[in-house]
Amino acid sequence: MKTNGLALKSFYADAQVWSGQDGKPLYWIDNISLAVNGLEIAEDSSIQMLHDDDDVQILTGNIYSYEDLGEVATLAEYFKRWQRNLDPAQHSPHDAGSRIKP
């Protein structure tokens, strides 16, 4: 799945995607692998360092639930759901996570 740095950073930073209404974390990413401008990286901490215009490809990654420790979706699937739930009238992907259901 291909995207850019701005979209992936926005998804990663969207607290509503990762936390419940009480602020407790619901999900985490494991086994992440991305290609950024053609170079493979395997750390989610690198997401926050992306440039907005970086070419990013999600190679692998899994989303797990803290509630039952089970896999919810692949990172690419969860990211696609988040993108589909964005309000087309908005230019910023912030606040879209409240509408995501795993």
Average pLDDT over residues 92-99: 42
Number of domains in the chain: 1
Residue-level pLDDT at 13 = 94
Q: So what's the pLDDT on residue 98?
A: 44
Q: What are phi and psi of 47, to 5 degrees?
A: -60, -45
Contact 61, 35 (CB under 8 A): no
Instruction: Show Cβ contacts of residue 86 under 8 Å, excluding neighbours closer than 6 positions.
Output: 93, 96
* 27-86 tens-digit pLDDT: 999 999 999 999 999 887 789 999 999 999 999 999 999 999 999 999 999 999 999 988
Which residue range(s) make up the domain with 65?
A: 2-99
pLDDT at 44: 78
Q: Give the pLDDT of residue 42.
A: 82
Per-residue pLDDT tens digits for 8-27: 999 999 998 999 989 999 99
Residue 92, classed as helix, strand or coil, is coil
99 φ, ψ (degrees, to nearest 5): -100, 0
Question: Quick one: pLDDT at residue 93?
Answer: 41
* CA–CA distance, 91 with 102 (Å, rounded to integer): 23
